[in-house]
Amino acid sequence: MKTLFGKLADGTEIHSWSLENGGTRLKVLSYGGIVQSLEIPDREGRYANVSAGFGTIEDYVARSPYFGALIGRYGNRIAKGRFTLDGESHQLSVNDDANSLHGGATGFDRRVWDVEPFTEGSNVGLHLSCTSVDGEMGYPGTLRTKVTYTLTRQGDWRIDYEATTDKATVVNLTSHVYWNLAGEGSGTIEDHELTIRASRYTPTDSGLIPTGEPAEVAGTPFDFRRAKPIGRDLRDAHPQQINAKGYDHNWVLDKGVTAKPEHVATLRDPRSGRTLKIATTEPGLQFYSGNFLDGTLVGTSGRTYRQGDALCLETQHFPDSPNHPSFPSTVLRPGQTYRTTTIHSFGC
């Protein structure tokens, strides 16, 4: 179902698309490809929206910390907004102190996407597409992007990303949903139990840029190889956590890049019994514990979001990969097609 959600300052209409399948209810905006709400049942069959967001387009435009958005051209940070490709230097839009974050000042989270609904067998979904012209936000090449959101008959939310370019460029697309499985606006996620199938992570400098050498999680607060409450080590004295004000790091998934999605993470809320399992083809997972939510944002529930009231699990290639030859490559060339898939499976 398509409804008018609001209008931008220039009069552009922003629509909301509602999907339901397999017990999962999803609302998506044409602005930023934003997941405005995602509702799933708890162990008693009671539905709640488990994705942080806003009730108006004005708030998304003026205040959003990427709530629910599609991220591109490059998810996460590129140091000083600079990289060199094939001997040519490129300067990107800088929007995070000295660095470029999530594609720059006008990333894919601020684009109005073309949206087409579809039904395919027992699945329903949306095709979202946009074109980023050569030089936009400093990136080389005209990038044509198609993202498909699918709700399966099992209630899984699947994201398939595709992109092509007419010049060599770098691409790293992801989704920036803020999760709280107890329900949006219900309070802290510190009691959520998290598992990440990763033996290493990428430490960062003071600007949250990877230093380049992955470190072992063993013996550190970054060890989520067995399920543990997020709050258990959240305020540990580890210098990496002090620097990031919590968790805001890329985990190096043990499986690496894979042709098909493989299970990499599980999130469980003991209060409601809701679970989220993530499978992906990507080599990295950015776990962000909502460190910079400061009580100034009011969500769809009418409640404020405070530090640690939601978390992100962003499947991705590594931050700043264009400046680290040892990291999995994010280069896309003419004639190639960028393809990645991430599947979110819900249960209780």
Q: Which of 102, 136, 176, 344 is catalytic?
A: 176
> Cα separation of 255 and 269, whole Å?
25
- Cα atoms in the 13 Å half-sphere on the side-chain side of 127: 9
Token pair of 137, please? Answer: 């936000």
Q: What angle do CA 267, 271, 272 make, to 5 degrees?
A: 75
Q: How far is CA 212 from CA 75, 97, 153, 203, 310, in A?
A: 17, 20, 41, 8, 28
Q: What angle do CA 305, 69, 13 make, to 5 degrees?
A: 105
Q: Which of 184, 193, 282, 314 is catalytic?
A: 314
> Cα separation of 12 and 17, whole Å?
16
Helix (H) or strand (E) holding 61: helix 57-63
Q: Is 314 designated active site?
A: yes
Q: Is 263 designated active site?
A: no
The residue whose two tokens read 């004000």 is 245
Q: How far is CA 16 from CA 27, 34, 116, 131, 347, in A?
A: 6, 9, 12, 21, 25
The residue whose two tokens read 């009069």 is 11
* Residues ≥6 apart with Cβ < 8 Å to 9: 61
For the annotated catalytic residues, the residue numbers are: 176, 314
